[in-house]
A and B are shown apart, each in its own frame.
Chain A
Amino acid sequence: MQKIGVFVCHCGTNIAATVDVEAVAEAARHVPGVVYATDYTYMCSQSGQDLIKDAVKKYGLTGVVVCSCSPRMHEKTFRKAVDSVGMNPYLLEIANIREQCSWVHKDKEIGTKKAIALMKAAVAKAELDSPLTAGETPVVKRALVIGGGIAGMQTALDIADAGYDVDIVEKNPTIGGKMAQLDKTFPTLDCSSCIVTPKMVEVGQNEKIHIYSYSEVTNVSGFVGNFKVTIKRKARYVDETKCTGCGLCTEKCPMKKVPNEFNLGLNNRSAVYIPFAQAVPKVATIDPNYCLMLNKGVCGLCSKVCGAGAINYKDTDKEIEVEYGAIVAATGYEIMDVSKYDEYAYSQSPDVVTSLEYERLMNAAGPTGGELLRPSDHKRPKTIVFVQCVGSRECDSTRGGKPYCSKICCMYTAKHAMLTKDHYPDTDIYVFYIDVRTPGKNFDEFYRRAVEQYGVHYIKGAVGKVTPENGKLIVQASDLLMNEQLTIDADMVVLAAAIEPSHSARHLATMLTASMDTNDWFTEAHPKLRPVESPTAGVFLSGVCQGPKDIPETVAQAGAAASKVIGLLSKDKLAGNPCVAHSDEMMCTGCSQCADVCPYGAITYVDKEFRMRDRTTKVRRVAQVNPAVCQGCGACTVTCPSGAMDLNGFSNSEIMAEVDALCR
């Protein structure tokens, strides 16, 4: 027979005002199995908790029911309390008589009646509770960071700094990400390269960090503390260990008409290339789409000139498997394809550019050597129109528009306007905006400087059409504040295109069993309280892959993710959630339906030998749940027809006992 103690909390007057707490305690005394019941002003207070602890000891309780606020509030508190006096914490149940009773029912009689029913249900469940102990799994002391942009680099550095090994997987030949492509950063206008390239070097030289550049994650299995990751190292045709990064091959390569992705195709590179001067690792890569040797079997110049003998035309993709304790997604973002926004004539005129292209045009290492020349005729533009929110805050998804604000565009546009004016004060600059959003340290000051000191024309309104005409771009727009139509003869139009998640993110999320929102940003475990963790244990989020951010926010989140990883890796063993599924092997038929619905791949099958009742043996396939992987959703329990699969803490019989009690 169970010995249950029931503790009814007044929560000051929060509960006591609409629930007769004494009546609830009195009713509890008449419930079979209950040996002790009492009420108290604040059960969660130290003295309230002591009351419970003392009763556990005094009456030798086998279960505790606390009638109080939501279990989401204080279940942990009370579990800890009973744990401290030697009772298994999972023998405690909460009856939620505050959020789901006293606060929603005004009539005291009704409230009391319901509170008693809820108490009885909790007692019914507590009677069936069995002690649960969390399993332990060892932790592999190595982390994986997917993505080598500023987010990934910062996360990797912070983790390495704590003494743990980190691998970065970067799909491009170099780390650095988008930040390496930027010219200056807002609101300080310091040179982006000057701050990011030392970081890249630091990453490259850190002994704890290993960079898998030009590589992709192709498979993830395992679970928190014990992930197994397959990394595809794409064929680079250059031996990384031999290449010195001298660049001779890139100079000699006869195939020089390859669009340079680092400069967004605004100029060309050779087929064998180093993305940019400060690339890390500074190793050449042969582009298999353009290399004459690989495509036509003729040339071989690079191999001839390479003093290190690093060129290897026979290179192939290789897959390696590495074990990690934690994984950080830092996959960043892409610029949305704006070609569907035909009214801006992006595909019709080379002088309509995206902001990132403009960034390259301003950059000293860019295609124009830092001189602002428009792409069509390499002349300096005199009138430039900036269009904000292209694809952002857009409900029309047919053109790929995004419902969200891309967050960074207002600030970088102000930056572009000011930098342009700094270099060429005679330039006329118009910025068309819906709203100017500047919530950030020194952001509004920065924007106002553009308007007030630099005389940039900020116009609230929309650009209706851009028409290329005789080397000009005729911009038709409306000024909403003046309520008039404008026509501007511009030399260049710069589109603040929306940013969107990396196109590889969804595939990655599937492999990581991490969830994504409808826009393909990774979702966090809790939007407020766990912003750098994914709902999948051991998978963390760093940077823009979780949602639009500027650089300082990204770096801050990268550090936060790193600290979470460090926290995880610092443990030798992980205690799991004991409320997981388990299969009764005597009943399991091994039909595989449970594995079909398990979102975590927590269920595997083994052939097991059973001794039958007549002393013969029989080999049967049975399911086994990995408690470290199982998250306890219970999908398997319903799929299992024999009920062999049950869930700790929410077992079939416990839930049915609650049903019975509530229907009584």
Chain B
Amino acid sequence: MITRISADRLPDLLRQISELEKLYIPVDKSEKISVFEEYAPGKVMSTKLNTLRSAKDFFFPQVQPMAKFRMEGKKIEVIDSRTEAQDYCIFGVRACDVRSFDILDRVFLADPVDTYYENRRKHATIISFACSEPSETCFCHSFGIDAAKPAGDARMWMANDIIYLEGISEKGKALLEKLDLAALDAVTDEKAERDVEAEERRVHEIQQKMPLYRLTPADNREKELAIFHSPIWKELSDKCLGCGSCTFVCPTCQCFDIEDFDGGHGVERYRCWDSCMYKDFTMMAAGTPRKTQLERFRQRFMHKLVYYPIRNDGMYSCVGCGRCLRRCPIHMNIVKVMKAMEEDAQCETKN
């Protein structure tokens, strides 16, 4: 069941949702920057391809306070700062980012469940937003993601000044049902379904023209050690600056560190994003197991393309959002790695 609404009623739609629960939408802060922000009347939803940072921030923020230790003299009091989250809605998440939630779920919601993540995750309703103008840096299709038909609790298309809405999960459908769609002059009919199909076809055709269209990840699950010892890593990692920009914009990177901040009156324990590209990643008393950038660089891509699929039924830990393609200061991105792995595998077979 797909409902169509005139695109100029989008503000009303958003207002209606925001009256039900806290609503977040992507907003353009400038020509260059779009971010998810809490909706307020007057805010215009960004139609940019993607937000600068990924939507993982909602469940796995860069800094997550975990506990506090208040000190008075020599006495220490432990304060659990967790509170149950309120229901909220994230509107306008792209297909790639929606998939990233599945990937994160498999990490954070597996036993033992990460309660900080779970708390945010279970209270969220995700309304995704189909892509109408994919870019050359997009390769979500390589991971079986349909940019034109995103997953989520509900999804939305926008084509020819019309918004199409469809509930997917029970949660999503329930939210849509609470809306006063009649007030938005919404129509639910077959034309909406046909329009959406046409839009999906249009987008798929565009995707076929893209340079990365033919990019398909190899199933590397059987070749773990061979890839690990491949000479490609030396060459690729030599160029890597060891910054964490790929990690931090990546929707699926989920590594964190736990730090204590002593503010003078007590200690605040928080976890924050970490990057396997950093020298001090997983630093232990005896040092770090990955001593050079080669090992660190290899870890990141082995994890996304080999280790994760091994443990997750072949699911890759990459969604093809293209953020790292754009943000890496030296364009040493996952596509180049996938290609190098492929070439290397071909060499192997030939030999």
Contacts and interface: CB of A to CB of B under 8 A. Distances in A.
A/B contact in complex, CB under 8 angstroms: yes
A31 B287 CA distance: 33
B294 to A, nearest CB: 8
Contacts of A614: 291-292
A32 B264 contact: no
B178 interface: no
A663 B264 contact: yes
Residue from A31, A613, A664 with most neighbouring chain B CB atoms (10 Å): A613
Given A613-B287, A664-B265, A31 B73 contact: yes
Contacts of A612: 291
Interface in A22-53: 30-32
Interface in B232-278: 262, 264-265
B289 to A, nearest CB: 10
B179 interface: no
Interface string A626-660: 00000000000000000000000000000000001
Contacts of A613: 287-288, 291-292
Main secondary structure of the interface of A (DSSP, over half): loop
Contacts of A660: 262, 264
A498 B291 CA distance: 71
Interface string A606-627: 0000001110000000000000
Contacts of A663: 264
B73 A32 contact: yes
A664 B73 CA distance: 12
A587 to B, nearest CB: 13
A113 to B, nearest CB: 16
B71 to A, nearest CB: 7
A570 B73 CA distance: 52
Contacts of A664: 264-265
A660 B267 CA distance: 13
A30 B262 CA distance: 18
A660 B288 CA distance: 31
B74 interface: yes
Interface in B65-116: 71, 73-74
Nearest to A613: B291
Nearest to A660: B264
A664 B72 CA distance: 12
A613 B283 CA distance: 13
Interface string A341-375: 00000000000000000000000000000000000
Contacts of B71: 32
- The B contact surface, by secondary structure, is loop
A32 B291 contact: no
A31 B73 CA distance: 5
B288 A30 contact: no
Interface residues of B, number: 10
Contacts of A30: 73-74
A660 B265 CA distance: 10
A32 B74 contact: yes
A664 B288 CA distance: 35
A32 B75 CA distance: 9
Nearest to B262: A660
Contacts of A32: 71, 73-74
Contacts of B262: 660
A567 B330 CA distance: 64
Contacts of B264: 660, 663-664
A614 B265 CA distance: 41
Contacts of B74: 30-32
A608 to B, nearest CB: 20
Nearest to A616: B292
B298 to A, nearest CB: 13
Nearest to B279: A613
Interface in A519-544: none
A30 B75 CA distance: 9
Interface in A180-223: none
Nearest to B71: A32
B178 to A, nearest CB: 50
Nearest to B293: A614
A123 to B, nearest CB: 12
Contacts of B73: 30-32
B262 to A, nearest CB: 8
B326 to A, nearest CB: 30
Interface in B279-302: 287-288, 291-292
Interface in B165-189: none
A626 to B, nearest CB: 31
Contacts of B287: 613
Interface string B212-249: 00000000000000000000000000000000000000
A599 to B, nearest CB: 35
Nearest to A33: B74
A663 B262 CA distance: 13
Contacts of A31: 73-74
Contacts of B265: 664
Nearest to B75: A30
B128 to A, nearest CB: 44
Residue among B71, B262, B287, B291 with most chain A CB within 10 A: B291
A612 B292 CA distance: 9
Interface string A562-598: 0000000000000000000000000000000000000
A614 B292 CA distance: 7
Nearest to A664: B264
A664 B71 CA distance: 12
A39 to B, nearest CB: 19
A663 B264 CA distance: 8
Nearest to B288: A613
B345 to A, nearest CB: 26
Contacts of B288: 613
Nearest to B264: A664
A125 to B, nearest CB: 15
B209 to A, nearest CB: 45
Contacts of B291: 612-614
Nearest to B294: A614
Nearest to B292: A614
B201 to A, nearest CB: 53
Nearest to B74: A32
A155 B323 CA distance: 78
A614 B295 CA distance: 10
A30 B71 CA distance: 11
B240 to A, nearest CB: 15
A614 B71 CA distance: 42
A30 B291 CA distance: 43
B72 to A, nearest CB: 8
A614 B287 CA distance: 11
A4 to B, nearest CB: 13
B292 to A, nearest CB: 5
A281 to B, nearest CB: 67
A518 to B, nearest CB: 45
Interface centre among B71, B262, B292 (most CB of A within 10 A): B292
A417 B313 CA distance: 114
Nearest to B265: A664
A613 B291 CA distance: 6
A205 to B, nearest CB: 70
A58 B264 CA distance: 31
A548 B71 CA distance: 62
A120 to B, nearest CB: 11
Interface in A105-120: none
A117 to B, nearest CB: 12
Interface string A293-304: 000000000000
A340 to B, nearest CB: 63
A613 B293 CA distance: 11
A612 B288 CA distance: 12
7 contacts: A30-B73, A31-B73, A32-B71, A32-B73, A32-B74, A613-B288, A663-B264
Given A613-B291, A660-B264, 13 more contacts: A30-B73, A30-B74, A31-B74, A32-B71, A612-B291, A613-B287, A613-B292, A614-B291, A614-B292, A660-B262, A663-B264, A664-B264, A664-B265
Question: Which 5 A/B pairs are nearest by Cβ-Cβ distance?
Answer: A30-B73, A613-B291, A664-B264, A614-B291, A614-B292
